[in-house]
Amino acid sequence: MPGISHKGLAMPASPIRKLVPYAEAAKKKGTVVYHLNIGQPDIETPQVVFDKLHSLNLKVIEYSHSAGFESYRKGLADYYRKYQINVTHNDIIITNGGSEAILIGFMTCFNEGDEIIVPEPFYANYNGFATTAGVKLVPVTSSIESGFALPPVEEFEKRITSKTKGILICNPGNPTGYLYTYTELEALRDIVKKHDLYLFADEVYREFCYDGHQPKSAMTLEGIENNVILVDSISKRYSMCGARVGALVSKNKEVIANALKFAQARLSPPTFGQIAGEAALATPDTYFKQVINEYVERRNVLVDGLNKIEGVFCPKPSGAFYCIARLPIDDADKFAQWLLESFSYENQTVMLAPASGFYSTPGLGKNEVRLAYVLNIDALKKAVKCLDEALKVYPGRTVKAKEAAQSN
Amino acid sequence: MPGISHKGLAMPASPIRKLVPYAEAAKKKGTVVYHLNIGQPDIETPQVVFDKLHSLNLKVIEYSHSAGFESYRKGLADYYRKYQINVTHNDIIITNGGSEAILIGFMTCFNEGDEIIVPEPFYANYNGFATTAGVKLVPVTSSIESGFALPPVEEFEKRITSKTKGILICNPGNPTGYLYTYTELEALRDIVKKHDLYLFADEVYREFCYDGHQPKSAMTLEGIENNVILVDSISKRYSMCGARVGALVSKNKEVIANALKFAQARLSPPTFGQIAGEAALATPDTYFKQVINEYVERRNVLVDGLNKIEGVFCPKPSGAFYCIARLPIDDADKFAQWLLESFSYENQTVMLAPASGFYSTPGLGKNEVRLAYVLNIDALKKAVKCLDEALKVYPGRTVKAKEAAQSN
């Protein structure tokens, strides 16, 4: 039997996947499981999308241009201009979700062995794309105490070697929900410019900024126009994760020309998804206002609720729909499994994403979890109550562990 | 400005792409261009697909399982059983078209520098996937005289080194239309078994077998169950190229388990495309009968028509919807450009795919072109007439060139 490739063996399995059998077992026992572990929103996809699909009048589902339908790219360019991102349809390649945008971007810009500095905790799937492309992600740690603000410039400088070819950010951040300030983005701009690095900016949560904050795209930073690669997706924007439509956007003509060759090899992005995405461009502003209001309320219920639990600390993020909480526990992996396997409160429990999967530095995030507020208010309140009750009785609770240690 | 990666620079541009501006210019002049250059069928997508989309009753377009919807995979397993391919849904990963199946398969099975033997001429995009994965395609040349039959086993043996890890076939073949005989498949089985290689079998044209021939899948070859990776796609089967739904299928559990990690990194295949694909499973047999009849008639019109032109030789293929013709010309790249730039007959011309792009050995296929019979009978007849007229006056016609040389 022939063997598996080195990269195949090195590819990380989904950090949440190992918990899935426990969640399935809990559900089979009749326990309600609140899924705070995944970023699959329950928000309805805009009606304009379904109207378009219901009235679809095609005879043949054809390939599109490898860069995506021109009409869609032109529509997207108009959309970007609302965010001061001045691009034309020629600067855009439509991809199979943001995932393919990252992968094609990495393949186009980086050689095997190149290094990319990325603030941690970061979106775990970046590891998979890095493994595929053979590049090394070099973490620079942000702290929960600062709400996961950008680490000081010196921390980036320390990590820059002759192999460093890029910086990767997610703004607003998954898994932190942190929204970088203009000052932080300008600091990034200066490092990128000084060392002539690529700046990959994953901005798929652009619409989800709260408390009056406005998103500022890395594409608007002056002086690094040829360095910035924007990674985008319609998955979260229109609650259309399954459409698998994203975009790689750059003013760097060389990058787009070479990325297009990777896009040509796979022929075209999905036609149905692009039709849906183009229809979604007409989504009324009221839709987003309602969605933002809903997320703000959910965030407040979740984060305020968590912070009321003794021993829990959870910074309140300004964007996306995630937060990271520090819990009074020994090990979030064990706790997450215990919640599903050994705990229930009024026949309910919670599924969490242990934060260790979002850190690259071993040992970090051991007592942290990521929570996605993609459930409705009522479910979130019940989930917080569950967590409160669970932490009271969890055998690995650190306060108890200390007491037990003292009594021995 | 930061540079482009080695692989980015090495990625081949689409061999047809350079002709596109000439086709566009011809159309702007008002010339009708018959596109025999691409495999985008004009056959209508089955009505069951549109019925499903028109009645779609979803609220949220969610991610599917990374391997694809379980119901769809189960339906696909039933479909495969009709072709004696005995797999369960656990042996199937739904992909973004056959393209992603090849790429994930290569990444899972091969290391940088590994070699894959592939009969040439072959589907040009294999080059792009090989470049992305860092593997080397080693061609073994099949000849137009034999209709592109499998080259003798000795030719494969000669090319096997310590780096050889796989063989890649396309059956029925793009660009040749050749359908491998059972004897040929068994010969391949023996080489694969002897050297414990992977056998990648691209069988996306399975439905398109003519003259009473039945397709035989590499998955049915006994004794190499753990070696075969089936690459599949619904693009051609249901004339749904834009759905971007394919599959990687293997009985090798290790391959599937590791391939799934690449699939998890990109979250899921397209939801709309999968819904369309699952609906298409109910396509009535009458649809395929009509389509096959149509393609047989088209093939006969095209191939018989070509062979009537003086100096043209075109083997009649038993599968897919392509053929390769040898023309009495100096250079197919020049001829294809000349057709678009300098020729028209009754205000019509033809766009062809020069076959050189399908050969890996330099210099081969110089006087060959690939033609796709994806146009209706009337258009094909006109296209053949155009070609006939064009070959009479093409300045690089080899017969003329010889005469000219003799007179000098």
pLDDT higher than threshold 70 for residue B229: yes
Q: Which domain holds residue B160?
A: 58-280
Answer yes or no: do A92 and A126 share one domain.
Answer: yes
Total domains in chain A come to 2
CB B348 within 8 A of CB B386: yes
**CATH number, domain containing residue B349:** 3.90.1150.10
Mean pLDDT for B241-257 is 97
B contacts of A99 (beta carbons < 8 Å): 265-267
Give contacts of A 68-97 with B, CB under 8 A: 96-97
Same domain, B75 and B184: yes
| Closest CA in chain A for residue B100 | A266
Of B44, B111, B242, the CB nearest to A63: B242
Average pLDDT rounded to a whole number, residues A214-227: 97
One domain, residues A141 and A260: yes
Q: How many CB atoms lie within 10 A of CB B56?
A: 16
Q: Are residues B160 and B142 in the same domain?
A: yes
Domain end residue (candidates: A218, A253, A280): A280
The per-residue pLDDT of chain A, averaged, comes to 95
Average pLDDT over residues B91-109: 98
Residues A211 and A87 in one domain: yes
Residue that terminates a domain, selected from A250, A280, A310: A280
pLDDT at A405: 42
Interface of B with A in 247-306 (CB under 8 A): 252, 254-255, 258-259, 261-262, 264-273, 276
Angle at A47 (CA atoms; ends A41, A51), nearest 5 degrees: 135
- Sign of the Cα torsion A40, A42, A43, A48 reads positive
pLDDT of residue A39: 76
Outline where DSSP puts E strands in B96-204: 115-120, 136-141, 164-170, 198-202
* Whole-prediction pTM: 0.95
Cross-chain residue pair A63–B241, CB shorter than 8 Å: yes
pLDDT tens for A30-64 read: 999 999 998 788 999 999 999 999 999 999 999 99
CB of A194 less than 8 A from some CB of B? no
Whether A128 and B42 lie within 8 Å, measured CB to CB: no
Asked whether the predicted pLDDT for residue A401 surpasses 50, the reply is no
Distance CA A167, CA A215 (A): 19
Are A67 and A185 in the same domain? yes
Whether residue A264 and residue B17 make contact (CB cut-off 8 A), yes or no, is yes
List pLDDT tens digits, range B377-389. Answer: 999 999 999 999 9
Mean pLDDT (whole number) for A385-404:
83
The verdict on whether omega for the bond into residue B121 sits within 30 degrees of 0, i.e. cis, is yes
In this model, does residue A404 exceed pLDDT 60? no
Regarding whether B163 and B309 lie in a shared domain, the answer is: no
Q: Which residues of chain B does A115 touch, with a Cβ-Cβ cutoff of 8 Å?
A: none
Whether residue B234 is contained in a domain is answered as yes
- For the cut 60, the answer to whether the pLDDT of residue B366 exceeds it is yes
Percentage of chain B surpassing pLDDT 90?
A: 94
Contacts of B50 (CB under 8 A, 6+ apart): A56, A58
Whether the Cβ atoms of residue B195 and residue B163 lie closer than 8 Å to each other? no
Residue A116 pLDDT exceeds 90: yes
> What is the per-residue pLDDT for B219?
98
Q: Is B59 on the interface with A (CB under 8 A)?
A: yes
Residue A1 maps to a domain: no
Please compute the mean of the pLDDT values over residues A260-287 and round it to a whole number: 96
Closest CA–CA distance from residue A84 to any residue of chain B (Å) = 22
Per-residue pLDDT at B336 exceeds 50? yes
- Burial label, B136 (beta-carbon count in 10 A; 0-12, 13-18, 19+): middle
What percent of chain A has pLDDT above 90?
Answer: 94
CATH number of the domain enclosing A213: 3.40.640.10
User: What is residue B17's predicted lDDT score, i.e. its pLDDT?
Assistant: 77
pLDDT digits (tens, 9 = 90+) for B170-194: 999 999 999 999 999 999 999 999 9
**What is the reported pLDDT for B406?**
46
Does residue A146 sit in the same domain as residue A258? Answer: yes
DSSP annotation of B319: B
What pLDDT, on a 0 to 100 scale, did the predictor assign at position B1?
A: 86
| Statement: residue B402 has pLDDT above 70 | no
The pLDDT-based confidence of B18 (bands split at 50, 70, 90) is confident
The two three-digit tokens of residue B358, written as one number? 């399908």
A92 Cα distance to chain centroid: 21
Examine the pLDDT at A175 and tell me if it is beyond 60: yes
CB contact under 8 A, A43 and B56: no
**Residues B75, B37 share a domain:** no
> What residues in A contact B239, CB-CB < 8 Å?
60-61
CB contact under 8 A, A1 and B240: no
How do residues B49-83 score in pLDDT, each as one tens digit?
999 999 999 999 999 999 999 999 999 999 999 99
State the pLDDT at residue B400: 58
- The answer to whether residues B99 and B38 belong to one domain is no
Question: Residue A13: what pLDDT?
Answer: 86
CB contacts of A103 in chain B (<8 Å) are 266
Residue B404's pLDDT is what?
A: 43
The residue-averaged pLDDT of B154-181 equals: 97
Cis peptide bond upstream of A139, omega within 30: no
Residue A369 in contact with partner chain B when CB distance is under 8 A: no
Mean pLDDT score, B211-238: 97
Q: Is residue B407 in a domain?
A: no
| Rounded-to-integer distance, Cα A389 and Cα A246, Å | 40
- Tell me whether A223 touches chain B (CB under 8 Å): no
Q: How high is the pLDDT of residue A354?
A: 96
Mean pLDDT, residues A56-77: 95
B283-322 pLDDT, tens digit per residue, is 999 999 999 999 999 999 999 999 999 999 999 999 999 9
Residue B355 and residue B209 share a domain: no
Q: Are residues A360 and A309 in the same domain?
A: yes
Shortest Cα distance from B12 to chain A (angstroms)?
Answer: 7
pLDDT at A400: 58
Find out whether the peptide bond into A172 is cis, omega within 30 degrees of 0.
Answer: yes
Q: B60, B200, B204: best mutation site toward chain A, by most A Cβ within 10 Å?
A: B60
The domain boundary, picked from A226, A258, A280, lies at: A280
Mean pLDDT of the region B341-356: 97
Mean of pLDDT values over B261-278? 96
Q: Is B2 in Cβ contact with A109 (below 8 Å)?
A: yes
How confident is the model over B186-212, as a mean pLDDT? 97
Average pLDDT over residues B94-101: 98
